[in-house]
């Protein structure tokens, strides 16, 4: 089988590792960029490919792209992407800081195609990571196995592939054709006939569930969607300018240095800035849909709040859900042809990392300020984690807000391990702090 060796292997060509690629091209073009490989399981770069809905917009300013907050004059900026594609005038005239999601995805693809030294390899799903040791048993690198049977050896690994999709246990064992997570929505919905009157159940109470509920009405124009959630109703994100200051890249230092009780309070109070809420404008759109239905006496749309799904089974070709009303304790059955899950992602570390931790005998995911996993020993091999460090680096770690700075800090740490970091500020490492089990 094919094998290659590189210095830096980045798993996943999503925003985190694309930003890292930009940082390597600009800050370490001779030292690291030419010996860096990004492996991507898809056949191209696409941001949130399962939910690239034509009307959906980013909820983060375009200025928080891969590089602008670090280097506003970079050729890799979103504004330069628009300029290169002769769309800058149109975007300026649109008068918004939040581009359409499809346009952000186009920017990501353009960045990947604009690398001069960093390489991107597509159709390459990582299935496992194994430690590589020398004759004395010292850890010197990693062997990554890909789904096609090929392998890649690397001294440094950077994980930026995100968390695993959360499919609640109650749906385990049901056919994949009947239960669709938001990450698979568009390709799976395209396989269905638009002429049938599907009974659709949407599960979840936040932005992704709302987008599924709104989109399926167009994708399956004769469907009857029912929205099921445990909460008392829909809430908007907390997005005041005071709260948004906690997403500044500079706030990461404060969060990392905070005592454990302070971190807990910050994460608890910031929960509604990113989870369990919807964008205010989108909430208005959804409310008007239900309002107009009441106005016209229709009954196509339904919403069940404070409701648990306690069991799910198949009855011939139907999905039968057992619902429990939290207010009254009443139970009922709801039959559906399709279940759409806007249930987010597993809070634990991705399976790939948990398997590697077990192989290494490492009990915890303790990370330094520079996002390096503390493996409990001083080794030449390193692992950096992106997008999974909310417990130590704050809630913005899973968002786009810190991409530019985080990628430069990881680059600086990689260079420091080589003993060369010209012109790059190396952040204070501090002691490693516990992330998530």
Q: State the pLDDT at residue 419.
A: 58
84 is written with which tokens? Answer: 């290169």
Q: Mean of the pLDDT values across residues 111-123?
A: 97
Q: State the pLDDT at residue 306.
A: 97
Q: Mean of the pLDDT values across residues 70-89?
A: 97
**253: exposed, middle or buried (Cβ count in 10 Å: 0-12, 13-18, 19+):** middle
Higher pLDDT, 427 or 334: 334
pLDDT in tens, 196-219: 999 999 999 999 999 999 999 999
Q: Mean of the pLDDT values across residues 417-436?
A: 50
Rounded Cα gap, residues 119 and 141, in angstroms: 20
Distances from the Cα of 378 to the Cα of 18, 139, 305, 374, 382, angstroms: 28, 9, 52, 9, 9
Q: Mean of the pLDDT values across residues 283-308?
A: 96
User: Is the per-residue pLDDT at 430 higher than 50?
Assistant: no
Q: State the pLDDT at residue 381.
A: 93
Q: State the pLDDT at residue 246.
A: 83
Q: State the pLDDT at residue 428.
A: 39
Higher pLDDT, 271 or 74: 74
pLDDT band at 369 (very low <50, low <70, confident <90, very high): very high
Rounded Cα gap, residues 342 and 339, in angstroms: 10
Q: State the pLDDT at residue 437.
A: 47
pLDDT band at 132 (very low <50, low <70, confident <90, very high): very high
Q: Mean of the pLDDT values across residues 29-39?
A: 96
Higher pLDDT, 414 or 239: 414
Cα 193 versus chain centre, distance: 30
Listed residue (181, 166, 247) closest to 211, CA to CA: 181
Rounded Cα gap, residues 274 and 339, in angstroms: 24
pLDDT band at 418 (very low <50, low <70, confident <90, very high): confident
User: Is the per-residue pLDDT at 332 higher than 60?
Assistant: yes
**Taking a C-beta distance cutoff of 8 angstroms, is the pair 161, 350 a contact?**
yes
pLDDT band at 432 (very low <50, low <70, confident <90, very high): low
User: Is the per-residue pLDDT at 309 higher than 50?
Assistant: yes
What mean pLDDT is reported for the chain? 92
Higher pLDDT, 116 or 249: 116
Listed residue (310, 322, 355) closest to 130, CA to CA: 355
User: Is the per-residue pLDDT at 421 higher than 70?
Assistant: no
**41: exposed, middle or buried (Cβ count in 10 Å: 0-12, 13-18, 19+):** middle
Domains of the chain in start order, with CATH, are: 3-164+346-434 (3.50.50.60), 169-236+277-341 (3.50.50.60)
Between the two ends of the chain, the Cα-to-Cα distance in Å is 34
Q: State the pLDDT at residue 248.
A: 87
| pTM exceeds 0.75 | yes
Q: State the pLDDT at residue 26.
A: 97
Instruction: Quote the DSSP letter at residue 197.
Output: -
User: Is the per-residue pLDDT at 436 higher than 70?
Assistant: no
Residue bearing tokens 């420091």: 416
- Return phi, psi of residue 157, to 5°: -115, 140
Q: State the pLDDT at residue 434.
A: 58
pLDDT band at 270 (very low <50, low <70, confident <90, very high): confident
User: Is the per-residue pLDDT at 412 higher than 60?
Assistant: yes
pLDDT band at 136 (very low <50, low <70, confident <90, very high): confident
pLDDT in tens, 145-167: 999 999 999 999 999 988 999 99
Residue bearing tokens 């460090």: 389
């Amino acid at each position: 089988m094919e094998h290659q060796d590189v210095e830096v292997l980045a798993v996943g060509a999503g925003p985190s590792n694309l930003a890292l690629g930009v940082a390597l091209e600009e800050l370490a073009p001779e030292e690291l960029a030419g010996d860096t490989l990004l492996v991507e399981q898809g056949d191209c770069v696409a941001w949130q490919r399962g939910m690239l809905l034509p009307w959906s917009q980013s909820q983060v300013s375009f200025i928080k792209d891969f590089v602008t907050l670090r280097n506003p004059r970079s050729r890799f900026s979103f504004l330069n992407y628009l300029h290169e594609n002769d769309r800058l005038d149109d975007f300026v005239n649109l008068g918004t800081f939040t581009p359409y999601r499809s346009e952000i995805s186009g920017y990501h693809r353009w960045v990947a195609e604009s690398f001069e030294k960093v390489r991107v390899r597509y159709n390459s799903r990582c299935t496992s990571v194994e430690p590589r040791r020398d004759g004395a048993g010292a850890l010197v690198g990693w062997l990554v196995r890909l789904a096609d049977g090929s392998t890649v050896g690397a001294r440094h690994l950077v994980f930026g592939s995100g968390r695993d999709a959360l499919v609640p246990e109650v749906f385990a064992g049901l056919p994949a054709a009947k239960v669709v997570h938001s990450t698979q929505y568009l390709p799976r919905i395209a396989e269905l006939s638009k002429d049938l009157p599907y009974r659709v159940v949407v599960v979840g109470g936040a932005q992704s569930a709302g987008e599924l509920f709104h989109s399926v009405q167009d994708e399956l124009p004769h469907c009857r969607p029912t929205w099921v959630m445990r909460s008392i109703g829909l809430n908007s994100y907390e997005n005041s300018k005071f709260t948004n200051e906690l997403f500044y890249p500079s706030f990461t230092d404060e969060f990392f240095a905070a005592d454990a009780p302070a971190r807990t309070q910050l994460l608890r109070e910031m929960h509604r800035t990113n989870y369990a809420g919807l964008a205010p404008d989108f909430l208005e759109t959804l409310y008007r849909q239900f309002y107009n239905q009441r106005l016209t006496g229709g009954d196509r749309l339904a919403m069940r709040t404070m409701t648990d799904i306690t069991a799910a089974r198949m009855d011939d070709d139907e999905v039968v859900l057992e619902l429990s009303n939290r207010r009254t304790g009443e139970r009922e059955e709801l039959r559906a042809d399709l279940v759409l899950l806007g249930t987010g992602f597993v809070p634990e570390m991705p399976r790939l990392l948990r398997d590697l931790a077990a192989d290494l005998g490492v009990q915890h995911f303790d990370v330094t300020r520079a996002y390096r996993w503390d493996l409990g020993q001083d080794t030449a091999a390193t692992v950096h984690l992106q997008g999974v460090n909310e417990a130590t680096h704050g809630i913005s770690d899973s968002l786009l807000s810190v991409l530019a700075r985080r990628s430069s800090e990881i680059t600086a740490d990689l260079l420091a391990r080589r003993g060369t970091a010209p012109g790059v500020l190396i952040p204070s490492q501090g002691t490693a702090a516990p992330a998530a089990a």
